């Protein structure tokens, strides 16, 4: 069974909701899914998964959330070759650096050898139906890539 690890960073719940959308979709695809909040998660947990997902909001001036910084730093020391990853998150287009933390996490995954399974999904605030459809497609593409 394909193992999926979803790690989210969320203050007001939007990225947690994104995590639940993805959990449901990956479970529909027959995967074994584990989801956890970033400050409660060891980066090494990705080593036990086939598919690695980060869903993170972006904070002031496009930065990775404070509570995600240790995790972000620890990720740099991993070897995730052979894993398929996806990054997504919620942001607000009011800010210049819309969803920049999503791209920051994507760069780390690239650096540590993981394979991108789908283009990043960036959600304006809370996920609405078209975002949910987009996230479902994102999960399907990642799942397909992990079967190759």
Residues that bind ligand FMN (CB under 6 A): 10-15, 57-62, 90-92, 95, 97-99, 125
CB of 44 to ligand FMN, least distance (A): 24
Nearest to ligand FMN by Cβ — which residue? 91
Answer for the pair 53, 22: CB distance below 8 angstroms, yes or no: yes
Instruction: Name the 3-class secondary structure at 123.
Output: strand
Q: Which is nearer to ligand FMN, 68 or 118 (CB)?
A: 68
CB-CB neighbours of 119 under 10 Å: 14
How far apart CA 148 and CA 144 sit, in angstroms, is 7
CB of 19 to ligand FMN, least distance (A): 9
CB of 20 to ligand FMN, least distance (A): 12
148: exposed, middle or buried (Cβ count in 10 Å: 0-12, 13-18, 19+): exposed
CB-CB neighbours of 33 under 10 Å: 20
CB of 85 to ligand FMN, least distance (A): 19
Q: Which is nearer to ligand FMN, 117 or 127 (CB)?
A: 127
Q: Which is nearer to ligand FMN, 14 or 142 (CB)?
A: 14
């Amino acid at each position: 069974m394909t193992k999926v690890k979803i790690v989210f960073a969320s203050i007001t719940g939007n990225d947690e909701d994104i995590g639940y959308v993805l959990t449901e979709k990956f479970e529909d695809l027959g995967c074994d899914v584990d989801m956890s909040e970033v400050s409660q998660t060891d980066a090494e947990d990705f080593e036990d998964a086939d598919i690695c997902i980060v869903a993170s909001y972006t904070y002031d001036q496009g930065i990775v959330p404070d509570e995600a910084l240790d995790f972000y730093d620890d990720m740099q020391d991993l070897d995730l070759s052979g894993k398929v990853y996806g990054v997504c998150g919620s942001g607000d287009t009011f800010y210049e650096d819309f969803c920049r933390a999503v791209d920051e996490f994507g760069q780390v995954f690239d650096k540590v050898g993981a394979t991108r399974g789908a283009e990043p999904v960036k959600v304006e605030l809370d996920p609405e139906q078209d975002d949910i459809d987009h996230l479902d497609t994102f999960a399907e593409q990642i799942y397909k890539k992990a079967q190759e």
